[in-house]
Amino acid sequence: MKYLGRTIFRMIGHGESGVVLKEFRDRLYSNETSMVLRCDLREHHHAPAAKIPLRLRPMERGDFPSIVAERPRRLPVLLDNIPGGYVAVTEAGELAFMIWLVFSCEWPRFERHFKGEIVEPLKADECMLEFAYTVEKFRGLGVMSAAMVMIAEEAVRLQPSVRWAYNYIRLGNEASLKGCRNAGFRPYLRREERWRAMRLRQEFVPLKPGSLFPFETIHNRAASGF
């Protein structure tokens, strides 16, 4: 709420007035489903190579204008100086992808920027990968999958004791679900979200081990190697 006015102003200027209105309507009355995905960081995952060379690095203040111009709703987390931001850049230094890597010790600061709640507090061997976003110009090039593998490797490098990485993605966001699948994430839980008059109620539904993504069949899962 701290930077709400500034964020809405920038989103409208970016042509996202429809997104703002939908968010308001959804919080009055909506039913949504998200998938909670999990990746075992002790296993080495090979995503298909991106079609352009990429380099992962920590987010810098000099990246903020490009980030806000492309994704104005990230303004609050930037202004709050929440740690764990990373970007994937091209050989020319262009921003192609952004994400936040959040360990358990940093979750209390990040939590207020997360929509809803997570199933339980993060443990010392767990982390969250959130706010993943591929810049529009670079979509369809395998950027997300490649960058997700790089950020998972960075998590283990920074904190060798971490084992599990999670992220929460709306069921209808098939492109992001596929990007995570290609980086080694699998369905773990389903989160049912019900907004009524600005109040959120959530239910977490466990999924059986080996559960498929909505777009998968047993055949194409075997073909993908997961």
- The whole domain housing 167 covers 28-224
Does 8 fall in a domain?
A: no
pLDDT in tens, the chain (226 residues): 566 777 776 777 878 788 778 888 888 999 999 999 999 999 988 878 899 999 999 999 999 999 999 999 899 999 999 999 999 999 999 999 999 999 999 999 999 999 889 999 999 999 999 999 999 999 999 999 999 999 999 999 999 999 999 999 999 999 999 999 999 999 999 999 999 998 999 999 999 999 999 999 744 554 555 5
Given a contact cutoff of 8 angstroms between Cβ atoms, the answer to whether 11 and 73 are in contact is yes
0.85 cut: is pTM over it? yes
CATH number at residue 144: 3.40.630.30
Does 22 fall in a domain?
A: no
Q: Give the model's pLDDT for residue 2.
A: 64
Tokens of 80: 């709050």
Q: Give the model's pLDDT for residue 226.
A: 58
Q: Extract the runs of DSSP E, i.e. beta strands, from the chain.
A: 29-40, 55-58, 85-89, 95-103, 126-134, 164-170, 186-196, 199-206
Does 94 fall in a domain?
A: yes
Q: Give the model's pLDDT for residue 196.
A: 92
Number of domains in the chain: 1
Does 3 fall in a domain?
A: no
Q: Give the model's pLDDT for residue 219.
A: 47
Does 65 fall in a domain?
A: yes
